[in-house]
Amino acid sequence: MAEGQFLFSKELDVAVRVVHLACALCQRVQNSLLSSNGSQVNSKDDDSLVTVADYSVQAVVSRILSEYFGSQNLSIVAEEDAQTLSKSDLLQEVVNTVNESISEAPKFGLKISNVPVGPSQVIEAIGRCSSSGGPKGRHWVLDPVDGTLGFVRGNQYAVALALIEEGRVVLGVLGCPNYPVKKGLVNHHHQLTSEISSASPDMWDKGCVMYAKRGAGKAWMQPLIHGELKLDSFESARSIRVSSVKDPALATLCEPVEKANTSHSFTEGVAHSAGLRKKPLRVYSMVKYAAIARGDAEIYMRFARAGYKEKIWDHAAGVLIVQEAGGVVTDAGGRPLDFSRGIYLEGLDRGIMACSGAVLHEKIIGAVDSSWECSLL
């Protein structure tokens, strides 16, 4: 076997299993949320939403990683703040959800202590995720529920876990509980929003986990596990590959649903300049990276509002999966994204570009340059 094949094998195995477990947790909370009056949702200081699922996933992942890899030198970079939860009326429900999830861990091949935790242990687990990352050492990067707005609306969201070592993303795992496993269903609908929640689970066959390891030259996808995840293999996984489309006229653009998250008007101008003709596929969360990696779309452009700084947990896992599936991800100037500078993607040139291949990427970069001079961004 090739040298390096076993590098990060344990880390990837644990990461894939814990993301499956986290997805199961999210599905329960989302089902409860959609049938309740919104009591499981709070607003943070920046007016963004946070739910029982956000806090619970972060606590569960933190606890499992600490049991497998030791808590003393464990560095986790994650979104949610322990102090905010300690003052929240969601705390007891988070504790209950965490304990329920931990009791299910053995079904996913995760051997951890099954002793029930209380509020202080949950706060401690979430507080353990306060690392700021950086260029040295090993850092786990977690977005417990990426696309919380999609989550509370019953639409697309993702659980994203990555591992950064010496400033480079080496593992990426992306759980997409509402994403159709069957590729044709995605191509049929160009709005991956409310159609998913109104469709029957059998029709959509929804829910998958995608993952990749740097240098493997391939990415993998599994359907969500609803029984038990075997200890010795991932027999249900299959390799995924980006689309082979090179003609912009045949390419599908993937973009955020919310206008606050990107400039739809500028993206539309770039698409027109590049010769794109198909209607955009608008998707909440890092599921956009999943769509590129699996060949459901060819292009993802993100141009954040002025003053907004992109965070590494919103991109790390998805970027690596697209790259290992054969795609290209850079900033809008064609430079690699730098995950070595803390919690933010510092030094970005205008925006982020993900494409299914080098030919399309070069054309889109050129269209951005020609459109930028005419824009007011």
CA-closest candidate to residue 140, choices 151, 158, 128, 148: 128
Q: What residues pair up with 344 in beta bridges, in sequence order?
A: 311
Q: Among 358, 309, 305, 303, which residue's Cα sits nearest to residue 329?
A: 358
Active-site residue (options: 97, 148, 252, 262): 148
- Is residue 349 part of an annotated ligand binding site? no
CA-derived radius of gyration, the chain: 20
Pairing of strands 76-78, 49-51: unpaired
Q: Is 79 annotated as a binding residue?
A: yes
In whole angstroms, how far apart are CA 307 and each of 124, 300, 310?
32, 21, 10
Per the annotation, the verdict on 89 as an active-site residue is no
5-9-11 Cα angle (round to 5): 145
Q: Which ranges of the chain does DSSP label H, i.e. alpha helix?
A: 9-34, 52-69, 82-86, 91-104, 119-127, 148-152, 183-188, 194-198, 201-204, 264-274, 287-294, 316-324, 358-372
Q: Tell whether residue 146 is among the known ligand binding residues.
A: yes
CB count within 10 Å of CB 366 equals: 14
Active-site residue (options: 51, 54, 252, 262): 54
For residue 225, the 8-state DSSP code is P
Q: Is 54 a catalytic residue?
A: yes
Give residues with Cβ within 8 angstroms of 48, minimum separation 6.
148
Answer for the pair 341, 310: CB distance below 8 angstroms, yes or no.
no
46 a known binding residue? Answer: no
Catalytic residues, which ones? 54, 148
Q: Which residues are annotated as a binding site for Mg(2+)?
A: 79, 143, 146, 314
